[in-house]
Amino acid sequence: MTMVRDIMTKDVKVCASHDSVTTAARMMRDIDCGSVPVCEGKKVVGMITDRDIILNCVADGKDCNTTHCHDCMTTDVITCAPNTDAHECARMMADHQIRRLPVVENGEIVGICAIGDLVTVNIHVNEAGEALSYISENTH
């Protein structure tokens, strides 16, 4: 059985809640992903996505340099634990239509599991593919 700890990214890039939206967007560009955890210390307090930035900042005509992550992030964050089974992680992604799950242990972020991490484990290709297909169908 493959656990999330075996496939997660341990070097997680995060934003602080008072970081500017521009900082978050640059981080997404630099690590080539569409979402970043927002943390206070090591505690996950939100997720900010490229979509959050577009809908809650750009579309409202706000200044991305002065708008903070906490002003437009999602606060209802779905997380998993390092000992979560990879199959369960894939199901959680599909159920919640998300591509990246912060991995939390004892209240602190210890990693992130992306849908791409699931496909690195051959037995999960079908599940991750189904999850990605479901996520993609429901975000258009």
pLDDT digits over 47-60, tens only? 999 999 999 999 99
Residue 10 and residue 89: Cα distance in Å, rounded?
16
pLDDT digits over 86-128, tens only? 989 988 998 888 889 999 999 999 999 998 888 777 544 455 5
Fold of the domain spanning 4-137: CBS-domain (3.10.580)
* Token pair of 119 as six digits: 């496909």
Q: What kind and span of H or E run contains 127?
A: helix 125-137
Give the burial class of 85: count Cβ atoms within 10 A of its Cβ; 0-12 exposed, 13-18 middle, 19 or more buried: middle
pLDDT at 140 over 50: no
Q: Which of 123, 121, 115 is nearest to 90 (CA)?
A: 115
For the chain, the domains span 4-137
Q: What kind and span of H or E run contains 15?
A: strand 15-16
Q: What kind and span of H or E run contains 113?
A: strand 108-114
Query: What distances in angstroms separate CA 13 from CA 36, 58, 69, 94, one per listed residue?
Result: 7, 23, 14, 23
pLDDT digits over 15-45, tens only? 999 999 999 999 999 999 999 999 999 999 9
Strands 100-105 and 35-40: unpaired
Q: Which residue matches tokens 């290709």?
A: 125
